[in-house]
Structure 1
Amino acid sequence: MNRKADVVVVGGTPSGVACAVRCSREGLHVVLVSFTSRLGGIMSSGLGVTDNVYAGFRAPIYEAFVRHVREYYRSVYGEESKQYQACYAKGKLHVEPHVAERVFTDLVHAEPRISTLYRYYPVSVERSGRRLSAVTLQSFDDGSLIRLEADAFVDASYEGDLAAESGAEMRTGREGRNAYGEPHAGKLFVFPGGGPISPDAVDGLLDLRTISDSGQRIFADPSGEGDDAFQAYNFRVILTCNPDNRVYPDRPETYDRNLYLGIVKKPEEHDDSTFPLRSHLLLSDGSWSLRSHLPNEKLTWNDPLLLGANLEYPTANWARREEIVRKHKDFALGMLYFLQHDVAVRPEVRLEALRWGLPKDEFADNGHFPYEILVREGRRLVGRYVFTEHDALQAPGIQRALIHADSVGIADWPVSSHDCTADRRSGSLNDGVLNLTDITRASQIPYRVLLPKDTDNLLVTVCLSCSHMGWGTLRLEPVFIQLGESAAFAVSLAAELGTTPGKLDANRLVRKLADNRVMVSLFQDFDLSAGQGWEPAVQYFGTKGFFDAYEAKPEALLDWYTARIWAKALGHLAAGDLSPLETADKMAKERSRRAAEPEPVSGNEFFQIVKYELSKHGIEGLRWPLETEPEEAITQGNACLMLYRLCGGR
């Protein structure tokens, strides 16, 4: 069977849904391909929480998802209900899987230009030079084939199979420290608190702190070598303590209690240092801990991690992947059975564990067990830019992370990692566990990480171009949803201009995103939901180095020092040789030199400086672009708006 579309989106993940919905709203005909019979990926399979630090408006489709989830709980249970109060707190969404699936499905079904294929996966592609011309899909159910032709393709899957089939360079595992000069690359051991450290962990120790009040010390393996390890997988099992909604699963046929004995031992009782288990439900004293609460007396269980069992998954065929998934499923159900029934578990813990079971109203056609495993880290594209740890740390000389002129989104979660191997040093956590809360900065994500080197009409929104350490801040669904929408804007803009996404002028794309309230620069002193007229301009110039910190101060009056730097920077932007980092560095140095607040600038004075700088590059005949009076002092927000209107599509 042959079909045609404007764009094919592979992956029914939240990123794929966001991409398809935005493409449709931009007038494009879309085929959305889901590997499963559901939409929503891991959000519909138990993740339950949108992990994010930034709580403000970041992109329209993401905000629509949050809004629809909240409206569901409000309309079904009432505004004063526990369910409505529990679904959203401190900027984080807490959502039951069936609700997430419903919202994602409704978003797709509301778009008449989206056609959805369920339970298909890519098996081959056709190329013409630097473009993909078609992809052939195979059914998981009957093996039938469908050939899809399109002008553009998006790989929004957790596996990255379309990108791999296209010939894009892909990578798994951890880079060595020398690959990108990342201080935390390679094998790494965290020592929680201020406890003793074994003698072999003296050299290379880094003094950092965690998200809690207790300190952490980090030992980076002296070899600095990379390996094939990456973050362990698990199912985000949903549990409920509601007796009317609770069902206990049967003991798995493969159950072996010896696999779980380590989680009830104290660290000093282990006979070696490589026991691969830990349980988020058991504290060090053996007591019970509940985390990640969801509405309706549910929680999402982030255990168990079966270290090393996932290494084949990213590049395996689907038959082998399904074997790996079954092993993880049996392991998860076996751990739950162990905690509930084994005599090695303290009686009070067993009693508490028996309060929890699988919910009858989730995954009813799958034994009340999640449909998808959490592919916490898999293939990573090696694209036109590799996002590394450095991109998420404070850039030299300024008070924010590295600035990218082609930013298409933001990452705000700390650089972090779950267990990668079962190796330990005495007193440490498993190798790879990390949370760099204190040194991570909200970062800009460059468009180039979505683009393979040798293909111009393929974008990759989940298996991004990044290092293992860079992945540590990018790996969250809010980021994937935003990048899915940004990719859709890139596809639609390329179609409008008669080009391909890989040849698109990134400057025009950033303007398109800013105009449509897609966050490309994070600032802590305003929220995009306010709808101020200067917001797109401030967002845009945040990618050009006009701000050296996370405050835009849009209501502050423009001063002479800033006016001169911005005017010269606009001239460089017009000439095509602007360096955002150099511009931000000038702003930082100028700020440090000031002995007192400089005099404010009137709108007309700033306009004259700008006209002079642009005249150097042959740009003449400019007219006053604002609705304010020229002789009035101009705010920084309106100054950005002036420049934004004057530079147009340049």
Structure 2
Amino acid sequence: MRYLLLAMAITLVSFQHKKDERSTRTFKADIIIYGGTSAAVTAAVEASRSGKSVIMVSPDRHLGGLSSGGLGFTDTGNKEAIGGLAREFYHRVYLHYQQDTAWKWQRAAEYGNRGQGTVAMDGENRTMWIFEPHVAEQVFEGFIAENGIRVFRDQWLDRKQGVGMVGGEIREIQTLSGNTFQGKVFIDATYEGDLMAAAGVSYHVGREATTTYGENWNGIQKEAFHHGHHFKAPIDPYVVKGDPTSGLLPFISEEPPGTNGQGDNKIQAYCFRLCMSNHPDNRIAFEKPEGYDPADYQLLARVFESGWNEWFQKYDAIPNKKTDTNNHGPFSMDFIGENYAYPEASYQERKAIIKAHEQYQKGLLYFVAHDPEVPEQVRKQMQEWGLARDEFTDNGHWPHQLYIREARRMLGEGVLTELEVLGKRAVEHPIGMGSYSIDSHNVQRYVTEDGAVQNEGDIGIHPPEPYQISLGSILPRRQECINLLVPVCVSASHSAYGSVRMEPVFMILGQAAAATAVLAIDRDTGVQEVNYQTLRPKLLERGMVLDLDMPK
């Protein structure tokens, strides 16, 4: 809470949206895409290549979302399920790393070839799945330039009165700058689903009960430790060990965790995916952040004291002696429990939450590198690392995108559940495939009945094979909106979304959304009325993978 209050104080001074009357204008296109994510880019490219005029209205200045924001160690799952523009993206990454000039800080032969679910560099299929953030951004910008796509950056939807609707149809959206964008079909490709929500489309935040959709892995899941991100030894949660009257250490909830299988309004933890370097000429030492207090990390000190030694296990190598550093262990990069308000928060409140995450992670890095309570061997090794000097150069070398693992999820024409993901129920009208595990990071940190600290919410269940994602998952209910598609905040349960929420899948669904929009425009129908038997061959023509059993 202290981090959040400090961040809000900073935000109140620094964050504001001012209307510039000189720049307020109306812009028109067949398809208006709100967002700057990887899904937004693939949607825009598909629309342009299909002969439609398209405008991207992006709150972000940098395009690509997490794909260009630090998540370079791609969550591929089965790469055979990835087609279309998503595969083209990874092919272009491959071409980049075929150039000698791409290898500035190490030779290509020194890098190795370890990926996640596949090799990093697949020479046979000419794809590369592991990459540096700036390379991903270059590829996305190349897509935009080559296809002549108009992008309006730093444009934030007026969430209160910026969606003009008539009879369940969006006619225009307005941003806080005063610009208006009119179109025939709109696509919400944000991680938050702000356009979807402002248009009055139904959605859910939090975990459903297991009984809602007949699932096993939704809702509260105490004692489910699928990734090892839990306290493996009893750790005392109190400021003074053994004394509950001394209060809890920071970032431990005073609330009981609830009963297994119950739904709640909590969401899995966020973090920044950090691009670090251990090359002496390309690293910037971790600095003490504003508001730093070593007491905030006393719980981690107790974890080290218990003998835990896994701190460096998720410093996944990407090219040029850099990392995609993710959360690992019971107390790590994830700021557990500090993001619950984010999905519905105002822009100002969100910026404060994002800043609090940044301060938490910067303090964590400094603590591990310098605090005497950290084992000396860990401290010395940590001091060999720093932020990569040549990444995120306009943001203090810090990622420009927080990992919004889950926010709003639409309640659409169809709801993808773990039954479909785990192959227990067939899917109608597939528009793409997923294959990654049902993956939820921890949701809460609490005190057990035995008086020890524990985490809850860490789920990892592997589908037996790649699964199909239905057209209904990206369509709002027709009585709510007939010209909106939602390829990121898709209609899925919490547990199913844990698998869908991977960047390759978002690219796939972004392309499918645009292809659907094109047909809706051509036939002058609502998006729900698009004939799937017409859509399917269009997707296949684009190299999309709808069924692994189909002829190659």
Counterpart contact for 1:384–1:452, Cα < 8 Å: yes
Is 2:131 the counterpart of 1:117?
A: no
Is 2:118 the counterpart of 1:82?
A: no
Q: 1:284 aligns with which of 290, 293, 308?
A: 308
Tell me how far apart the structure 2 counterparts of residues 27 and 52 of structure 1 sit (CA, whole Å): 30
How far 1:485 moved relative to its partner? 0.6
Is 2:285 the counterpart of 1:248?
A: yes
Instruction: Please list the CA deviations of residues 219-275 of structure 1 after superposition, one character each: whole Å capped at 9, or x if unmatched.
Output: x97553211111101111111000101112421111111111222324996xxxxxx
Is 2:30 the counterpart of 1:6?
A: yes
- Map of 1:108 onto structure 2: 144
- Map of 1:50 onto structure 2: 74
Instruction: Please list the CA deviations of residues 463-505 of structure 1 after superposition, one character each: whole Å capped at 9, or x if unmatched.
Output: 0111111111111001000000111111112222232322111
Instruction: Please list the CA deviations of residues 136-159 of structure 1 after superposition, one character each: whole Å capped at 9, or x if unmatched.
Output: 112xxxxx2111110000001111
- Map of 1:99 onto structure 2: 135
Q: 1:130 aligns with which of 168, 172, 184?
A: 168
Identity value in percent: 32
- Map of 1:606 onto structure 2: none
Counterpart contact for 1:87–1:295, Cα < 8 Å: no
How far 1:310 moved relative to its partner? 0.6
CA spacing shift, 1:164–1:71, aligned 2, 3 Å: same
- Map of 1:278 onto structure 2: none
- Map of 1:450 onto structure 2: 474
Is 2:445 the counterpart of 1:410?
A: no
Instruction: Please list the CA deviations of residues 522-579 of structure 1 after superposition, one character each: whole Å capped at 9, or x if unmatched.
Output: 34xx7xxxxxxx54xxxxxxxxxxxxxxxxxxxxxxxxxxxxxxxxxxxxxxxxxxxx
Q: 1:325 aligns with which of 328, 342, 354?
A: 354
- Map of 1:201 onto structure 2: none
- Map of 1:224 onto structure 2: 261
- Equivalent AA in structure 1 for residue 322 of structure 2: K
Higher relative contact order (CA 8 A, sep 6+): 2
- Map of 2:372 onto structure 1: 343
Tell me how far apart the structure 2 counterparts of residues 52 and 465 of structure 1 sit (CA, whole Å): 21
Tell me how far apart the structure 1 counterparts of residues 88 and 74 of structure 2 sit (CA, whole Å): 14
Is 2:182 the counterpart of 1:145?
A: no
CA spacing shift, 1:59–1:344, aligned 2, 3 Å: same
Aligned to 2:77, what secondary structure does the other structure show? coil
Aligned Cα root-mean-square deviation (Å): 2.5
Counterpart contact for 1:12–1:34, Cα < 8 Å: yes
Q: Which moved more, 1:421-430 or 1:255-264?
A: 421-430
How far 1:405 moved relative to its partner? 2.5
How far 1:287 moved relative to its partner? 6.2
How far 1:43 moved relative to its partner? 1.3
- Map of 2:298 onto structure 1: 261
Tell me how far apart the structure 2 counterparts of residues 117 and 266 of structure 1 sit (CA, whole Å): 47
Is 2:219 the counterpart of 1:183?
A: no
Q: Which moved more, 1:51-60 or 1:360-369?
A: 51-60
Is 2:283 the counterpart of 1:237?
A: no
Counterpart contact for 2:132–2:319, Cα < 8 Å: yes
Instruction: Please list the CA deviations of residues 124-144 of structure 1 after superposition, one character each: whole Å capped at 9, or x if unmatched.
Output: 111121211111112xxxxx2
- Equivalent AA in structure 2 for residue 432 of structure 1: G
CA spacing shift, 1:287–1:469, aligned 2, 3 Å: closer
- Map of 1:299 onto structure 2: 323
Instruction: Please list the CA deviations of residues 420-443 of structure 1 after superposition, one character each: whole Å capped at 9, or x if unmatched.
Output: 011365799621101112x55421
Structure whose CA Rg is larger: 1
- Equivalent AA in structure 2 for residue 520 of structure 1: L
Counterpart contact for 2:434–2:499, Cα < 8 Å: yes
Q: Which moved more, 1:496-505 or 1:124-133?
A: 496-505
Tell me how far apart the structure 2 counterparts of residues 413 and 388 of structure 1 sit (CA, whole Å): 14
Using structure 2 for the length normalisation, give the TM-score: 0.82
- Equivalent AA in structure 1 for residue 426 of structure 2: I
- Map of 1:599 onto structure 2: none
Is 2:495 the counterpart of 1:469?
A: yes
- Map of 1:364 onto structure 2: 393
Tell me how far apart the structure 1 counterparts of residues 154 and 431 of structure 2 sit (CA, whole Å): 30
Which structure shows the higher helix fraction? 1
Tell me how far apart the structure 1 counterparts of residues 409 and 67 of structure 2 sit (CA, whole Å): 21
Counterpart contact for 1:230–1:377, Cα < 8 Å: yes
Tell me how far apart the structure 2 counterparts of residues 372 and 197 of structure 1 sit (CA, whole Å): 34
Q: 5+ unaligned residues in a row in structure 2: which ranges?
A: 1-24, 121-128, 235-256, 328-332
Q: How does 1:583-602 map to 2 (within 5 A)?
A: none
CA spacing shift, 1:324–1:83, aligned 2, 3 Å: farther
Counterpart contact for 1:40–1:101, Cα < 8 Å: yes
CA spacing shift, 1:197–1:343, aligned 2, 3 Å: closer
Instruction: Please list the CA deviations of residues 363-401 of structure 1 after superposition, one character each: whole Å capped at 9, or x if unmatched.
Output: 111111011101011011011111111111132xxxxxx
Counterpart contact for 1:126–1:132, Cα < 8 Å: yes
Is 2:506 the counterpart of 1:480?
A: yes
- Map of 1:40 onto structure 2: 64
Counterpart contact for 2:81–2:435, Cα < 8 Å: no
- Equivalent AA in structure 2 for residue 179 of structure 1: T
